[in-house]
Structure 1
């Protein structure tokens, strides 16, 4: 058991997996889930444009999201929406061992995506410019966020809305040239954590924080004291030298899902009972119809 206030290194995380398109080899996704309990995927929006799927298959892939896609009027927003959802479904399908058309997405109150009918794999989505970022986790909740590394945050006045007193003090003590990068790391980590817990921007960024000038290990209270110990792992990654990525992975306390495949999540006895009930219902249906016609 970890002593109060003692920091422990969180679980490891593999480097972002580049997914050039649907025909990519998805074996590394399963390998990272097996090894780390989480996987981070990066893709270019242009590689997942909906036109490449064709209207008929795109409708099957989007499922319940098809009508929402059709209602979007801005071409760029439509393309990003379809590309990100199709990427999510292919990623989830790789983890579950099922066809992507069979995956259905649901959404929490703040828009966080989830898998309908299956809670063994958790999802998170972010995008900036042409980059699509997806997080998968089997240990617990996950949140991801991506920002351009050249985005200017320091000195823009945003600090008072996103930094705790402890973070502000530490950032101001850093060399000037390092301050913007530190704020970018904080921003992506806070976005990732708030997504992971399902609160989005409803959770004020000044109510929690991280250490700006070292590898993140724990969530910190506004005064810099540890807020969580061992329950979360936080990671800052760089991708393609142009993007800063933040990843938050929670430990639900139930241990790792060693085999996330959908087939192993079903109890054989329950499946047999359901199939038997469906067969009996199918046999009884003609008799019921004949009775109604009498």
Structure 2
């Protein structure tokens, strides 16, 4: 992997019983404890596969065995590689769909969502959008509002994941320029200047919304199948 590139991997989580043991074998104790908290069998299998595949992907990049990789977490809970802290990664999954971003020497976040219809969209927009974003969204034709909501949502989610702080930052405080959605108008003070952050939508097909955010230029993104 070229150190100034950004790779985005996407795939489908099969939750295949035949692959379960291999994925379980590479997880560490903390991941196994987290997996065991899922009482729903499908969600349990998906968690095991998602984190097993993440380890396999990272192992290929740093040339280590998947079960030997040490994944620690920041105080805010964001995972990082103990032996390769300069390698940033982030994962997102929605249903059976998986998205992983990997990049060197930056902070990176990614999000994927299935664009389901929601009856409470106006309420979510009021809660999670800034005034300028809300005004833009309210003026859209009704048949464009659902997709536009998810576009804003995935960009905001990718940002708060990149920072490591999560949604406690306040999604309405992460203000995207509606007229130029690759940039932020403003971000919370602890995240630095808005100008250092870049946004890129990830085209994954009809009915899906994906986005990646990093504190570097996103000029070279390679989309790969996981």
Normalized against structure 2, the TM-score is what?
A: 0.82
Paired position in structure 1 for 2:151: 185
Q: Would you tell me which structure has more strand in proportion to its own residues?
A: 2
Give the SS at the match of 1:239.
Answer: coil
Q: 1:118 aligned to 2:77?
A: no
Paired position in structure 1 for 2:221: none
Give the SS at the match of 1:77.
Answer: helix
Give the SS at the match of 1:174.
Answer: coil
Paired position in structure 2 for 1:44: 12
Shift of residue 102, structure 1, vs aligned partner: 1.9
Shift of residue 168, structure 1, vs aligned partner: 1.2
Paired position in structure 1 for 2:57: 91
Q: CA 1:176–1:59 in 2, change beyond 3 Å: closer, same or farther?
A: closer
Q: Distance in 2 between matches of 1:170 and 1:135?
A: 29
Aligned pairs, number: 211
- Ranges of 4+ aligned residues in structure 1 off by more than 6 Å: none
2:140 to 161, 171, 174: 174
Does 238-247 or 144-153 show the bigger shift? 144-153
Paired position in structure 2 for 1:208: 174
1:152 to 118, 128, 135: 118
Cα distance per residue 1:152-185 (max 9 Å; x no partner) = 3774411111110111112223333222222211
Q: Distance in 1 between matches of 2:47 and 2:77?
A: 13
Shift of residue 143, structure 1, vs aligned partner: 0.5
User: Which has more radius of gyration?
Assistant: 1
Paired position in structure 2 for 1:235: 200
Q: CA 1:63–1:171 in 2, change beyond 3 Å: closer, same or farther?
A: same
Structure 1 residues without counterparts, runs of 5 or longer: 1-29, 253-294
Normalized against structure 1, the TM-score is what?
A: 0.65
Q: Is the CA contact 1:153–1:184 (under 8 Å) kept in the aligned structure 2? A: no
Aligned counterparts, 1:11-26, within 5 A: none
Q: Distance in 2 between matches of 1:241 and 1:161?
A: 26
Q: CA 1:163–1:200 in 2, change beyond 3 Å: closer, same or farther?
A: same
Give the SS at the match of 2:175.
Answer: coil
Shift of residue 111, structure 1, vs aligned partner: 3.5
Q: CA 1:250–1:152 in 2, change beyond 3 Å: closer, same or farther?
A: same
Q: CA 1:155–1:59 in 2, change beyond 3 Å: closer, same or farther?
A: closer
Structure 2 residues without counterparts, runs of 5 or longer: 188-192, 218-226
Q: CA 1:51–1:109 in 2, change beyond 3 Å: closer, same or farther?
A: farther
Shift of residue 144, structure 1, vs aligned partner: 0.6
Which one has more relative contact order, counting CA pairs under 8 Å at least 6 apart? Answer: 2
Q: CA 1:91–1:179 in 2, change beyond 3 Å: closer, same or farther?
A: same
Give the root-mean-square deviation of aligned CA atoms: 2.4
Q: CA 1:182–1:67 in 2, change beyond 3 Å: closer, same or farther?
A: closer
